């Protein structure tokens, strides 16, 4: 597996990480724990070194899963986790008070079975707590050796600059893919200026860009995609144009749509490290294969020109969730 350095931090990780949320949260029926432990360890065997979790995934059960699965590999892997919700529950409101951050860090350390957190993100910017106080709290955790690097998730330009002035931000995590390119106009120029790495989550459009989802697909009743405007049947039908584009390029490269979507992301900047999630070994291996696909300047031009003609339908989040983004 190729390696990349996240920004100017010196943090070197595999070119593709693994988003672990779906192993215990958000996509319906929870997969078998033993199978997920095996999958996590198979990811390590295949060279993955960046694993992404959060206290809110479960809550708590995803961190516990990674703690159990990755305990033998702490010298080989980097685990990123997140704080920022009241009681660790994603829909319970935000809480980034410094004392709460420190409480969450201690609890996460126990669940992850480690003496330090490699990368600690603020999950969402809390408008009730100055971002300088948040950065200061993480700085103290770094000084004490309990945290190595500081990250922000879904933060806006002003928050990034203010936090970075107090404690250098190593990584910004936000959604970015061929069907959500807003970061190109907002945060990407700023993180490049400041030497911050970028970690795209949902790089496969929550599964849509794999080509395995269409207007007739039905989701588990507990799958959170049921609540996303972009996943209504009409939106899925309209957005097939993006998948058709990926299929066309994939056919010429003897690849899959998912691999082209990930390869396109990797080609944008050398400090971008996508974290596609999966619960299947076949999909993991497919995703990792994207790192070996080379898109030429002509390929990238073709993709960008075709994508510019496609109007993606449906909002990314329901309105109440969208309000927490980009602060």
Catalytic residues: 57
Rounded distance between C-alpha atoms, residue 216 and residue 227, angstroms: 16
Residue-wise DSSP of 184-211: GTTHHHHHHHHT-EEEEESTTGGGGGGT
- Beta pairing, strands 171-175 & 11-14: unpaired
C-beta of residue 163 within 8 angstroms of C-beta of residue 135? yes
How far is the C-alpha of 303 from the C-alpha of 262, rounded, in Å? 13
Q: How far apart are the C-alpha atoms of 129 and 221, rounded to whole Å? A: 35
1 burial class (0-12, 13-18, 19+ CB within 10 angstroms)?
Answer: middle
Which residue's structure tokens are 């207007």? 215
CB atoms under 10 Å from CB of 308, counted, come to: 9
Asked if 78 contacts 51 with a C-beta cutoff of 8 angstroms, the reply is yes
């Amino acid at each position: 597996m190729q390696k990349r350095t996240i920004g100017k931090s010196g943090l070197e990780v595999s070119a593709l990480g693994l988003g672990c949320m779906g192993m215990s949260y958000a996509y319906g029926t929870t997969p078998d724990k033993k199978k997920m432990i095996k999958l996590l360890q198979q990811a390590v065997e295949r060279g993955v070194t960046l694993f992404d979790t959060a206290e809110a995934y479960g809550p708590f059960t995803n961190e516990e899963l990674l703690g159990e699965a990755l305990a033998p590999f702490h010298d080989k892997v980097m685990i990123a986790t997140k704080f920022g919700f009241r009681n660790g529950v994603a829909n319970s409101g935000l809480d980034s008070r410094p004392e709460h951050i420190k409480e969450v860090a201690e609890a996460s350390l126990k669940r992850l079975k480690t003496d330090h957190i490699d990368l600690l993100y603020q999950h969402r910017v809390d408008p009730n707590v100055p971002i300088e106080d948040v950065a200061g709290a993480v700085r103290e955790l770094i000084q004490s050796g309990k945290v190595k690097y500081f990250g922000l998730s879904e933060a806006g330009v002003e928050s990034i600059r203010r936090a970075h002035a107090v404690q250098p931000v190593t990584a910004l995590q936000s959604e970015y893919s061929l069907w959500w390119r807003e970061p190109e106009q907002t945060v990407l120029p700023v993180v490049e200026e400041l030497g911050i790495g970028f970690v795209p989550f949902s790089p496969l459009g929550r599964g849509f860009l794999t080509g395995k989802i269409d207007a007739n697909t039905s989701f588990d009743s507990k799958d959170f995609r049921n609540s996303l405007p972009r996943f209504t049947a009409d939106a899925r039908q309209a957005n097939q144009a993006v998948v058709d584009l990926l299929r066309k390029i994939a056919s010429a490269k003897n690849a899959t749509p998912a691999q082209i979507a990930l390869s396109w992301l990797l080609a944008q900047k050398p400090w971008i490290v996508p974290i596609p999630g999966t619960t299947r070994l076949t999909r993991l291996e497919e995703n990792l294969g994207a790192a070996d696909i080379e898109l030429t300047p002509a390929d990238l031009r073709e993709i960008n020109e075709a994508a510019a003609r496609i109007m993606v339908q449906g909002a990314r989040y329901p309105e109440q969730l969208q309000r927490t983004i980009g602060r």
